[in-house]
Structures are given as structure tokens and as C-alpha cells.
Amino acid sequence: MKFKKFMRTYRPFTRAGMLESVAYRANFICFLLGEIMSCFIMFFVWKAVFNSTSGQDFMGFSMNDMVVYLFITFLTGYLTYSDGTYAIATEIRDGSIAMRMIKPCSFDMCFLFQELGNKIFNVLVIFTPIVVGVEAYKWVITGSCQFNVVNFLLYVVSLILAYLISFYFNVSYGFMAFYLKNLWGADILKECIVNFLSGATIPLAFMPPFLASVLSFLPFSSLSYTPVMIYMGMYSPFEIVYKMLFQVFWLAVMILISKLVWRHAVKRLCSQGG
């Protein structure tokens, strides 16, 4: 019963988000093409790196692994991306956040369901082509189909956890941006740091051992590195369980932080016009 009411409250937000993303589909596709360019740049850089190394492998990765890594990392980054920072900071600035506060629904849930609606279109447009493309590439290179259903399903679970961590992290950071004022700068700062710390720019395995072990304990590796490694089948069953529990742990921490920040910020909030 409770669940039904919950869904009835939040479904309209999902619908609105979905319509929004379909309305701006041309923008979305152009953006996607712009962003995926960086994947191709890194593809050529890695190809040159592999040409310059004497052996077949580069620190345990073959060129084949590297291609899978690049594109699945891109996909993971895109699907776990959350616009919370910008959306919240903008709403605080122009005062429209007041409208959210007078509605009889939870603040973060509204955002979450709206963004999920936004994601549906993204998933349709990029998820299937990238996964099929990557698998086809592996098939052509190795000569046999290597698609692993179990790893794939575990990847999806881990991806959802990663998205939720990212969402709550961005909600918290959105309030930070409120203090920092320069939204755009603060957002770019966050992107760069998170991409590096989460192993999206370069696999954690390539980093100096000390740095890698520190980073694997921070929440960022849960955002990208964990799901990607699961997809690639780099983890043993024990490691998968361990890493996923780790994701759940950081999700709980992020939810807690976002609630605390929200409570603190509401007291300070001084809406302008609205």
C-alpha cells in the first residue's frame, strides 16, 4: 500500500524528466558525440603506448582489455552522471527551490525520480550500442563470443549502486557550490577530481601502489572502477561481494551526509523572489 502511494507520488516526476530528455534529443546526441571523442583520443594514445612497449601487456592489461575499459568506463560515467550539483545550486540561486519545499514530497526523491526519467532515454540511446559494440569488437579480435551473462548482470547491479552514490554525492556537493558561488568552475573542479580518483581517467591498477590502495578505500572507486572491473571479469567472486558491500557502505554514508547538509542548508536558505 505504502509502495503504491510512493509510486503514485513520484511517477509524474519521472514522466516529466523523460519528456524533457526527449524534447532535447538533438542536443543530447551532439553532446554525446563531443564527449565520446575523448574515448577515441585515448584509444589512439593507448594504441601508441602498446606499440611502444616491448611485451603484449601493459601492467596486466592487453590492448583488448584497454578498449573494453575505455568504452565501458565512458558508458558507466555517462549513466552514473548526476546533474544534482548544478540543478540544486541553480535552484538555490534563483529561488525556485522554495517551490520544492512547499510540495508534499521529499526533496531528494523528487530530484531522483526526475533524473531517472531523464536517464531512460539515455539508456536506450547509448547503453545497447556501446555494449553490443564492445562485445562485437572482442568477438572480432579473439574469434569467439566472450559475453558473460553473470558478469553483465552483476555489472548492472553495481552500476545502479554507483549511480545512487553519485546522486547523493552530487546533492551534497550542490549545497557546497552554493557557498563557492562559481557553479561552473566548481562543477568542472568536481568532474576532474572525481574522474581521476575514481579511476575513470586511468585504471587504478596503473597508479603507484600506495596511491592505488588509498584510492580503493575512498568512495570514488565505487563510482566507476568497481562496476567496470566487474564487467571485465577482473574480480574473483569473493572480491565482487566485498566490493559491492563496499558500495553499499558508501551509499549509506552519502545518504547520511546529504541529509545532514540539507538540514543545515535549509536553515540558512533565504529565497529570492521564487
Partner 1 sequence: MGRMFRLHRIFVAQYMKNLMEYKVDFLTGAISFLIGQIVQIATIGIIFSQIPDLEGWGFNEILFIYGFSLIPKGIDHLLFDNLWSVGYFIVRKGDFDKYLTRPINSLFYVIAEKFCVDAFGELFMGIVLIVYSLIQLKLTLTWYMIPLFIVAVVFATLIYTALKIGTSAIAFWTKASGHITHMVYMTNDFSKYPTTIYNKVVRTLITYVIPFAFTAYYPASYFLGKGEPLFCIGGTVIAAVVLMFISVCIWNRGIKAYESAGS
How far apart are CB 126 and partner 1 at their closest, in Å? 15
Q: Using the minimum distance from each CB to partner 1, give the nearer residue, 33 or 270.
A: 33
- Smallest gap from Cβ 53 to partner 1, in A, equals 6
- Encoded one letter per residue, x for contact with partner 1 by CB under 8 A and - for no contact, window 20-59 reads ------xx--xx-xxx-xx-xx--xx-xxx-xxx----xx
How far is 15 from 110, CA to CA, in rounded Å?
A: 12
Contact between 121 and 15 (Cβ < 8 Å) = no
Cα 226 to Cα 243: distance, rounded to the nearest angstrom: 7
Of these, 139, 147, 206, 249, which contacts partner 1 (CB under 8 A)? 206
The answer to whether 185 contacts partner 1 (rule: CB under 8 A) is yes
Which CB, 53 or 128, lies closer to partner 1? 53
Q: How far is the CB of 252 from partner 1 (least distance, A)?
A: 28
Asked if residue 109 lies in contact with residue 12, where contact means CB atoms within 8 angstroms, the answer is no
Shortest reach from residue 60's CB to partner 1, in Å? 11
In the shown chain, the binding pattern of residues 93 to 132 toward partner 1, with x for contact by CB under 8 A and - for none, equals: ----------------------------------------
Q: Name beta bridge partners: 148.
A: none
Among residues 259, 209, 201, the alpha carbon closest in space to that of 228 is found at: 201
Closer Cβ to partner 1, 9 or 96, answer by number: 96
Nearer to partner 1 by Cβ, of 170 and 247: the residue is 170
Return the amino acid letter for 97. I
Of 33, 59, 211, 189, nearest in space to 126 by CA: 33
Q: How many contiguous H segments (helices) and E segments (strands) does the chain have?
A: 13, 0
Please give the residues from 227 up to 256 whose contact with partner 1 meets the rule CB under 8 A: none
Does residue 112 sit in helix, strand or coil?
A: helix
Q: Does 207 bind partner 1 (CB under 8 A)?
A: yes
- The CA-atom distances, in angstroms, between 175 and each of 93, 120, 192, 209, 255 are 11, 26, 19, 34, 14
Of 193 and 266, which CB lies nearer to partner 1 in the complex structure? 193
Q: Choose between 165 and 200: whose C-beta lies nearer to partner 1.
A: 200
Q: Is 184 in the site for partner 1 (CB under 8 A)?
A: yes
Nearest-approach distance from CB 257 to partner 1, in angstroms: 21
**Among 148, 164, 146, 132, CA closest to 244:** 164
Does 272 contact partner 1 by CB under 8 A?
no
Give φ, ψ of 221 to 5 degrees. -65, -25
Contacts (Cβ under 8 Å, ≥6 apart) of 25: 121, 125
Q: Which one of 62, 201, 253, 271 is in contact with partner 1 (CB under 8 A)? A: 201
Which helix (H) or strand (E) segment holds residue 204: the answer is: none
Residues that bind partner 1 (CB under 8 A): 26-27, 30-31, 33-35, 37-38, 40-41, 44-45, 47-49, 51-53, 58-59, 180-182, 184-186, 188-189, 191-193, 195-196, 201-202, 206-208
